[in-house]
């Protein structure tokens, strides 16, 4: 297993390098620059700005300079938010998005697995059909439709919850965004769990467990759940990606100062350094998370050998 | 040329002082907190690095310039207590109030302004607004890097006397001095922290409030500045600015009671607002023009004034503002909006004609330009992505199609891409544009169409127009100057380089317990005038 982890770790670097390179050149291909506005910028001032941020150098020089800085941990100043460095912005935005994302995944897992298991146990019952119908709705309704609806119902018409803002991560401010973010994932996880649980419940070792006279609860929780969760575990990789990209919309709608917003605003503002910083960050995150998930898979399923 | 010593005491001094404080007899809320939605996140709170309305709203609370504004927009003394204008408007001498203080207790001195203005004009600073100070002697040469910034026509005679030399009489100079780019900065702070001085815990300002907290993309919190010279008249203790870009989201938070005022509201919500909270709606004229520009450097509009005129005359502005927008925008038959100081609007002479007459002439001109129903014009309208822009483009396209048979193609682009294409003039034919004035004078509109202006995306180049503008910049008599500018506008309108559509309005919804918020044409609202009534 350690050998496997090491191989994956080494393989991550070329991936990361490709991500950085692609992102670097792609964002510069987009027309428009960081300092374009609809006010006059005298050519001398433009020239000075270009010089200061090295935008007047040939592209390969800028690239080399950027790589060098990054390897030294310097992600540069933000082009748009001139009073802050990229490291500071990511440092401020990441804990927020992390809290949001982890809470959403935890909620999605809890609710999704429970619902899926219940549906599997009562296969083809009214409960099963209800759960699956809800799952379908959750997958089909995009979260930029669901989120404002939740806002309207629970914050405006029924003034139970705040209508936005982060307030340092206070629980009341977490509720709506986490629900909005988790809903599509709940749907997928419920369906996955149901499907795989139905399969697992048909297998021989479950029949053995039941034949041994074990209480149903023990059969499910101790014996069926672990193998049934394997597809869910592999789904967690793309689920994280989904949460990360979904959070962009949610953060915008609920005015949450997370990383997703910086990403979108950075791209729209052509804030090269900020976008690069977030891309690298997300790249590392997804690679690491996928590695953890794969290792977890190995732990859960005794049949998998690395 | 005799010395003309004129003491100018602004009468509004008394008005401003009494307007700043809450009227007597009103019960104020215990918690004097004002929560404002503010559009996009400011890029910087450094007056020399920022760009855009959101940043200047906040800077207006953190700093104060030589001249300030009363709630209704009238100019009142700011840091400058009084001033003299001499040499036919070429020399201004400002006397600063001795009690003006920075938020750390240091006195505000004339040297602070000298330092600040040199810094903003220094091309190395990279300011977007260095052009604001262009009227000052040698400013433009300094921007171009041809002169060192020490040669700027600004002098500190002593700690409280500032002399400014202009390159030409500039009647709107005092109005310019309310602009956020002319605010002073605290030299020791800037030198200590370098680029990143404009942050909480570091920023030192001379305004009514200090920067308490700044969580990017979340909120900016200001607290009362006890060192401010007029702090006795400030009522608010805290101001919170929220960067909420989406107008719908802001409105939801407003309705939930989390905001006291929004920066704008979606026009689709206007019927709902008019039905449920009509007293909270504030719509007022705003100093800006929404227009389409013709690209004069390429076909079909190059050397084709008749075609341009035909298209301009065919647009039914009353339908656009009355039926499509419905938020009280004013149809624009000229370039400079009404309400500009010392100016009367210039309009197309066919404004008074009936719709029938206009269409007749438009059709004739269209034919003379070489087009007809059998040989229609195919043209594109390019705009940056937005529901409102699309609505207007669709409407105008339909009008042209119905009246003339023009085939219109709509192209929408993301903002930066759009700006780039507009500036390059390689692909545009008709492009959407909006121009909001930085200061309340006709020149801020007129200069856009000067052949050398950086945002003259039409490529309009008329030496007669340029000459009139340059003459107006040298003319000391305000009446003559006005006539020169009006003459220039008349010439420009007759060339049809642009198609004015409507004059902007500012739109807000504001809670009934907010006092001191007065509609004004620049839409400037200083928090020092605001108070919260008990509710």
pLDDT tens-digit profile of A81-125?
Answer: 888 999 999 999 888 988 999 899 999 999 999 999 988 888 889
Q: What is d(CA B79, CA B61) in angstroms, rounded to the nearest whole number?
A: 14
CB–CB contact B256 A265 (8 Å): no
Query: Has residue B528 got a pLDDT over 80?
Result: yes
CA-wise closest residue to B41 among B50, B31, B28, B33: B50
Calpha distance B92→B163 (Å, rounded)? 6
B175 token code pair: 């109005």
How many CB pairs lie under 8 A apart between chains A and B? 151
Average pLDDT over residues A2-23: 87
A51-to-A96, A100, B131 alpha-carbon distances in Å: 34, 39, 20
Q: In what order do the strands lie in the sheet with B378-384?
A: B330-331, B498-509, B281-294, B430-436, B378-384, B407-413
Task: Provide the angle, in degrees to the nearest 10, between the axes of the packed helices A171-201 and A86-121.
Answer: 40
| Cross-strand pairs, B215 | B219
Residue of B nearest to A40 (CA): B454
Select the residue of B44, B196, B217 nearest A257 (Cβ to Cβ).
Answer: B217
C-alpha–C-alpha distance, residues A261 and A267, integer Å: 10
DSSP designation for B106: P
Checking if the pLDDT of A306 tops 70, the result is: no
Is residue B17 pLDDT above 70, yes or no?
no
Residue B34 has pLDDT above 50, yes or no: yes
User: Which of helix, strand or coil describes residue A300?
Assistant: helix
- Cα gap B364→A31, rounded to integer Å: 40
Residue bearing tokens 């709203």 = B57
pLDDT, one tens digit per residue, over B425-445 is 999 999 999 999 888 889 989
**Phi, psi angles (nearest 5°) of residue B291:** -150, 165
Residues 6+ apart with CB under 8 A from B261: B34, B35, B36, B37, B254, B508, B509, B510, B511, B514, B517
Output the pLDDT for position B91.
95
Residue A80 has its nearest CB partner, among B43, B144, B434, at B43
Band of residue B184 on the pLDDT scale cut at 50, 70, 90: very high
Going by pLDDT thresholds of 50, 70 and 90, the confidence category of residue A43 is: confident
State the DSSP H helix or E strand holding residue A261, giving kind and residue range, or none if neither.
helix A259-269
pLDDT higher than 50, residue B6: no
Residue A218 has a pLDDT of: 87
Q: Measure CA B92 to chain center.
A: 24
Does the pLDDT of residue B1 top 60, yes or no?
A: no
Least confident of B14-28, B163-177, B396-410: B14-28
> Does the beta-carbon distance from A42 to B246 stay under 8 Å?
no
**Residue B62: how many CB atoms within 10 A of its CB?**
26
Write down the pLDDT at residue B18. Answer: 41
In this complex, is the C-beta atom of A86 within 8 Å of any C-beta atom belonging to chain B? no
Q: Where in chain B is the domain with CATH 3.10.105.10?
A: 285-506
Residues 267-306 (A) with a CB less than 8 A from some CB of B? 268-270
Instruction: Identify the CA nearest to B318 among candidates B504, B502, B506.
Output: B502
Tell me the percentage of chain B whose pLDDT exceeds 90.
73
* Separation of alpha carbons A93 and A81, rounded Å: 14
Length in residues, chain A: 306
Rounded-to-integer distance, Cα B406 and Cα B369, Å: 13
The answer for residues whose C-beta is within 8 angstroms of residue B154's C-beta and 6 or more apart is: B113, B114, B117, B118, B136, B162, B163, B164, B165
Residues of chain B with CATH 3.90.76.10: 2-243+510-532
Given a contact cutoff of 8 angstroms between Cβ atoms, the answer to whether B234 and B224 are in contact is yes
CA distance B494 to B346: 11
What CATH fold (topology level) applies to the domain B2-243+510-532? Dipeptide-binding Protein; domain 1 (3.90.76)
Q: List CB contacts (< 8 A) between A89 and chain B.
A: 216
Among candidate residues B278, B171, B170, B214, the one with its CA nearest the CA of residue B58: B214
Q: Specify the 3-state DSSP secondary structure of B177.
A: coil
CB contact A136 to B (< 8 Å): no
The enclosing H or E element of B495 equals helix B478-495
Q: Which residues in chain A have their CB less than 8 angstroms from residue B123's CB?
A: 42, 44-45, 47-48
A positions 174-233 inside 8 Å of B (CB): none
For the beta carbon of residue A178, count every other beta carbon within 10 angstroms. Answer: 23
Chain A contacts of B453, Cβ < 8 Å?
A: 40
- The pair phi, psi for residue A205, each rounded to 5°, is -70, -25
Task: Answer for the pair B181, B48: CB distance below 8 angstroms, yes or no.
Answer: yes
DSSP state of B288: E
Higher-pLDDT residue of B326 and B94 is B94
Mean pLDDT of B49-68: 93
Query: Which candidate from B41, B143, B246 shows the least CB-CB separation from A42?
Result: B143
ipTM, two decimals, is 0.82
Is residue B300 reached through a cis peptide bond, with omega within 30 degrees of 0 on the bond before it?
yes
Given an 8 Å threshold on Cβ–Cβ distance, is B252 in contact with A164? yes
Contact (Cβ atoms closer than 8 angstroms) between residue A271 and residue A19: no
**Residue A41 contacts B, CB cutoff 8 Å:** yes
B21 confidence band (pLDDT: 50, 70, 90): low
Confidence of residue B392 (pLDDT cuts 50, 70, 90): very high
Mutation target among A36, A45, A262 for the B interface, most CBs of B within 10 A? A45
Q: Does residue B451 have a pLDDT over 80?
A: yes
Place of tokens 């001191």: B516
- Tell whether A263 lies on the interface with B, counting CB pairs under 8 A: no
Q: Which residue of B has its CA nearest to A156?
A: B256
Q: Does B242 touch chain A (CB under 8 A)?
A: yes
Does A130 contact chain B (CB < 8 Å)?
Answer: no
Say yes or no to pLDDT of A30 above 50. yes
Inter-chain residue contact B416 with A77, CB threshold 8 Å: no
Beta carbons of B196 and A30 less than 8 Å apart = no
Residues of A in Cβ contact (< 8 Å) with B128: 37, 39, 41, 45
Q: Mean pLDDT score of chain A, rounded to an integer? A: 87
Mutate to test the interface with B, among A166, A170, A255 (most CBs of B within 10 A): A255
Dihedral over Cα of B353, B358, B360, B362: its sign: positive
Q: What is the mean pLDDT of residues A226-231?
A: 86
Q: Which CATH superfamily does the domain covering B285-506 fall into?
A: Dipeptide-binding Protein; Domain 3 (3.10.105.10)
Contact B45 A80 (CB under 8 A): no
Span B267-275, mean pLDDT? 90
Residues B259, B510 contacting (CB under 8 angstroms): no
Asked whether the CA dihedral B287, B36, B519, B342 is positive or negative, the reply is negative
Q: Does A252 touch chain B (CB under 8 A)?
A: yes
d(CA B98, CA B358): 61
**Whole-number mean pLDDT of chain B?**
90
| Cβ pair B252:A152 closer than 8 A | yes
* A5-36 residues labelled b (16+ CB within 10 A) or e (exposed): eeebeeebeeeeeebbeebbeebeeeebbbbb
Strands B7-8 and B80-86: antiparallel
Q: Report the candidate in A81, A60, A61 with the shortest Cα–Cα distance to residue A277.
A: A81
Q: What is the pLDDT of residue B12?
A: 39
Nearest to B416 among A36, A48, A156 (CB): A36
A255 touching B (Cβ < 8 Å): yes
Ranges A15-24, A184-193, A237-246, B129-138: which has the least confidence: A237-246
Instruction: Provide mean pLDDT across the span B453-474.
Output: 91
Could you give the 3-state DSSP secondary structure of residue B182? helix
Q: How far is B532 from chain A (nearest CA, A)?
A: 22
Q: What is residue B303's predicted lDDT score, i.e. its pLDDT?
A: 92
In this prediction, residue B11 carries a pLDDT of: 38
Q: How many CB atoms lie within 10 A of CB B487?
A: 16
Element (H or E) spanning B81, and its range?
A: strand B80-86
- Among residues 139-178 of chain A, which lie with CB inside 8 Å of chain B? 148, 151-152, 155-156, 159, 162-166
On whether the CB atoms of residues B50 and B42 are closer than 8 A, the answer is yes
From B340's Cα to the closest Cα of chain A, the distance in A is: 20
Which of B198, B414, B454 has its CB closest to that of A41? Answer: B454
Question: Which of A55, A163, A165, A250 would best serve as a mutation to test chain B binding (most B beta carbons within 10 A)?
Answer: A163
CB contact under 8 A, B419 and A83: no
| Residue B57, pLDDT above cutoff 60 | yes
CB contacts, 8 Å: A270 with chain B: 416
Contact between A53 and B443 under an 8 Å Cβ cutoff? The reply is no
> Quick check: B249 and A269 CB within 8 A?
no
More confident residue, B19 or B166: B166
């Amino acid at each position: 297993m350690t050998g496997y982890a090491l191989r994956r770790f080494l393989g991550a670097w070329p991936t990361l390098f490709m991500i950085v390179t692609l992102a670097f050149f792609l964002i510069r291909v987009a027309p428009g620059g960081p300092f374009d506005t609809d006010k006059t910028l005298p050519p001398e001032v433009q020239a000075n700005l270009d010089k200061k941020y090295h935008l007047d150098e040939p592209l390969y020089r800028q690239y080399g300079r950027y790589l060098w800085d990054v390897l030294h941990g310097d992600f540069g100043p933000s082009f748009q938010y001139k009073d802050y460095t990229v490291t500071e912005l990511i440092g401020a935005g990441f804990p927020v998005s992390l809290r949001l994302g982890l809470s959403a995944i935890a909620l999605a897992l809890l609710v999704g697995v429970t619902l899926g298991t219940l549906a599997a146990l009562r296969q083809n019952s009214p409960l099963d059909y209800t759960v699956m119908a809800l799952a379908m709705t959750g997958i089909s309704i995009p979260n930029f439709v669901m989120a404002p609806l939740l806002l309207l119902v629970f914050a405006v018409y029924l003034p139970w919850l705040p209508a936005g803002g982060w307030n340092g991560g206070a629980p009341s401010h977490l509720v709506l965004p986490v629900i909005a973010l988790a809903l599509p994932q709940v749907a997928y996880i419920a369906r996955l769990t149901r499907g795989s649980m139905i399969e697992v419940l048909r297998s021989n070792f479950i029949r053995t467990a039941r034949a041994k006279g074990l209480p149903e609860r023990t059969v499910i929780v101790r014996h069926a759940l672990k193998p049934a969760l394997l597809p869910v575990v592999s789904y967690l990789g793309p689920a994280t990606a989904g949460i990360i990209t979904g959070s962009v919309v949610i953060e915008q709608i609920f005015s949450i100062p997370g990383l997703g917003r910086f990403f979108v605003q950075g791209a729209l503002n052509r804030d090269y350094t900020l976008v690069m910083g977030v891309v690298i960050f997300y790249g590392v995150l997804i690679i690491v998370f996928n590695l953890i998930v794969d290792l977890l898979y190995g732990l859960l399923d005794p049949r998998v050998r690395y | 040329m005799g010395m003309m010593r004129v003491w100018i005491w602004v009468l509004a001094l008394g008005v401003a002082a009494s307007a700043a404080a809450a009227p007597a007899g009103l019960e104020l809320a215990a918690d004097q907190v004002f929560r404002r939605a503010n559009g996009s996140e400011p890029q910087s709170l450094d007056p020399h690095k920022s760009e855009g309305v959101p940043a200047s709203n906040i800077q207006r609370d953190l700093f104060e310039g030589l001249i300030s504004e009363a709630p209704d927009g009238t100019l009142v003394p700011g840091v400058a207590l009084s001033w003299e204008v001499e040499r036919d408007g070429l020399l201004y001498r400002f006397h600063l109030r001795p009690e003006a203080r920075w938020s750390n207790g240091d006195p505000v001195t004339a040297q602070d302004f000298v330092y600040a203005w040199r810094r903003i004009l220094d091309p190395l600073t990279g300011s977007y607004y260095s052009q604001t100070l262009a009227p000052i002697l040698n400013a433009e040469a300094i921007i171009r890097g041809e002169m060192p910034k020490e040669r700027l026509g600004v002098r500190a005679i002593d700690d409280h006397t500032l002399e400014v030399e202009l390159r030409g009489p500039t009647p709107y100079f005092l109005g310019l001095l309310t602009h956020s780019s002319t605010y002073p900065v605290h030299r020791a702070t800037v030198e200590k922290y370098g680029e990143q001085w404009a942050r909480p815990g570091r920023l030192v300002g001379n305004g009514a409030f200090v920067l308490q907290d700044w969580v990017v993309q979340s909120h900016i919190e200001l607290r009362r500045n006890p060192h401010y010279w007029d702090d006795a008249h400030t009522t608010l203790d805290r101001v919170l600015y929220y960067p909420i870009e989406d107008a719908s989201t802001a409105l939801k938070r407003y309705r939930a009671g989390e905001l006291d005022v929004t920066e704008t509201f979606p026009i689709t919500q206007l019927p709902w607002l008019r039905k449920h909270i009509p007293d909270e709606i504030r719509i007022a004229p705003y100093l800006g023009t929404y227009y389409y520009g013709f690209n004069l450097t390429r076909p079909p509009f190059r050397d084709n004034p008749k075609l341009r005129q035909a298209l301009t005359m065919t647009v039914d502005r009353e339908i656009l503002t009355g039926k499509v927008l419905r938020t009280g925008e004013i149809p624009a038959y000229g370039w400079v909006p009404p309400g500009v100081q010392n100016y009367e609007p210039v309009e197309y002479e066919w404004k008074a004609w009936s719709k029938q007459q206009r269409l007749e002439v438009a059709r004739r001109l269209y034919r003379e330009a070489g087009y007809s129903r059998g040989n229609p014009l195919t043209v594109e309208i390019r705009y940056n992505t937005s529901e409102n822009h699309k609505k207007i483009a669709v409407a105008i396209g339909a009008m042209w199609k119905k009246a003339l048979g023009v085939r219109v193609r709509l192209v929408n682009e993301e903002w930066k891409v759009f700006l780039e294409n507009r500036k390059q003039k390689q692909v545009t034919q008709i492009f959407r544009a909006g121009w909001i004035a930085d200061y309340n004078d006709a020149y801020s509109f007129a200069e856009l169409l000067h052949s050398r202006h950086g945002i003259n995306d039409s490529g309009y180049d008329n030496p007669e127009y340029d000459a009139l503008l340059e003459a107006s910049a040298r003319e000391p008599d305000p009446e003559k100057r006005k006539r020169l500018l009006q003459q220039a506008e008349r010439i420009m309108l007759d060339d049809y380089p642009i198609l004015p559509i409507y004059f902007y309005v500012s739109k807000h919804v504001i809670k009934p317990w907010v006092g001191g918020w007065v509609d004004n044409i620049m839409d400037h609202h200083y928090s020092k005038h605001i108070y919260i009534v008990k509710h």
